[in-house]
């Protein structure tokens, strides 16, 4: 796929929002004409792709998916988050039937992932309006850097600050692979459809977006935001984790607006002169 135009790349403020929340939402970004076709396409199924297939080669059997990923805003977001030539980890069509009484446990989509300077991204596409009654995807903003092993958190039913996706047709959401989330039950009379793809980067995720606003004050505000599930000390830890990830993404390990990282990485190497006592009582300077 061709490189996106600069105006379609994410801004630094949008990237900082993703780093802080673990998600980036684009409402109604897919044209209505495509949304009208989508349900039939998804119901028929999307041909499988082997793990690690380059995106440029993937979905040769689905013109619809290739059109979806070529939309300028979507292509720009993918490039900004995982760079050129990512690979496809997996994809799936999720259909939650009307009046389906089951909901997923709260979970993260991977085993404990300790990568401090890289992440996978999941694209989630909703081809029709999603109402609160239809369930939608539940997620807990800001949890993506609190690493857990898949359904270790499944016993939790409700967390302060969790969100239930309500959106117009054609909405696409990009999620950090570690965010805590789960599909909710569908209490409506309409089947709910969602198509997701997980992308793996193949390049260092450093300054892949439009960096014209790299040091805008709004970047620091995004990275410093708090969430209702934070306790006082917990919030500090999450801010530390975000700044470390932002330093990796920007290649600037000096960026630390509130000094969360500086405080715990401060290991001075300067040695001051020390005084020792001569065997005969005379002071010496080492």
Q: Does residue 284 surpass a pLDDT of 60?
A: no
Provide, rounded to the nearest whole percent, the portion of the chain with pLDDT above 70: 95
pLDDT in tens, 196-218: 999 999 999 999 999 999 999 99
Q: Does residue 7 surpass a pLDDT of 60?
A: yes
Distance CA 83, CA 80 (A): 6
Average pLDDT, the chain: 93
Report domain 1-286's class.
mainly beta
pLDDT in tens, 32-71: 999 999 999 999 999 999 999 999 999 999 999 999 999 9
Q: How confident is the model at residue 281 (pLDDT cuts 50, 70, 90)?
A: low
The pair of structure tokens assigned to 278 is 């001569």
User: Whole-model pTM?
Assistant: 0.92
- Of residues 127 and 260, the one with the higher pLDDT is 127
């Amino acid at each position: 796929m061709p490189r996106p135009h600069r105006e379609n790349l994410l801004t630094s403020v949008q990237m900082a929002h993703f780093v802080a929340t673990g998600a980036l939402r684009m409402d109604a970004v897919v044209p209505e004409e495509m949304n009208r076709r989508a349900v039939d396409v998804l119901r028929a199924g999307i041909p499988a792709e082997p793990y690690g297939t380059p995106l440029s080669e993937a979905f040769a059997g689905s013109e619809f998916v290739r059109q979806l990923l070529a939309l300028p805003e979507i292509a720009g977001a993918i490039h900004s988050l995982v760079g050129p030539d990512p690979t496809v980890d997996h994809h799936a069509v999720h259909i939650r039937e009307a009046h389906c009484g089951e909901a997923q446990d709260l979970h993260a989509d991977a085993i404990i992932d300790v990568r401090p300077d890289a992440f996978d991204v999941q694209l989630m596409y909703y081809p029709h309006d999603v109402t609160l009654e239809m369930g939608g995807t539940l997620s807990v903003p800001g949890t993506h850097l609190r690493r857990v092993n898949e359904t270790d958190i499944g016993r939790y039913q409700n967390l302060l600050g969790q969100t239930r996706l309500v959106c117009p047709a054609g909405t696409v959401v990009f999620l950090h692979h570690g965010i805590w989330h789960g599909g909710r039950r569908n209490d409506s009379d309409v089947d709910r459809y969602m198509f997701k793809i997980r992308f793996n980067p193949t390049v260092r995720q450093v300054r892949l977006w439009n960096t014209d606003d790299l040091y805008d004050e709004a970047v620091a505000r995004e990275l410093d935001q708090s969430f209702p599930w934070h306790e006082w000390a917990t919030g500090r830890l999450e801010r530390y984790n975000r700044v470390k990830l932002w330093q990796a993404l920007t290649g600037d390990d000096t960026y630390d607006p509130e000094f969360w990282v500086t405080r715990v990485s401060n290991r001075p190497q300067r040695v001051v002169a020390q005084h020792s006592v001569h065997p005969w009582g005379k002071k010496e300077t080492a």
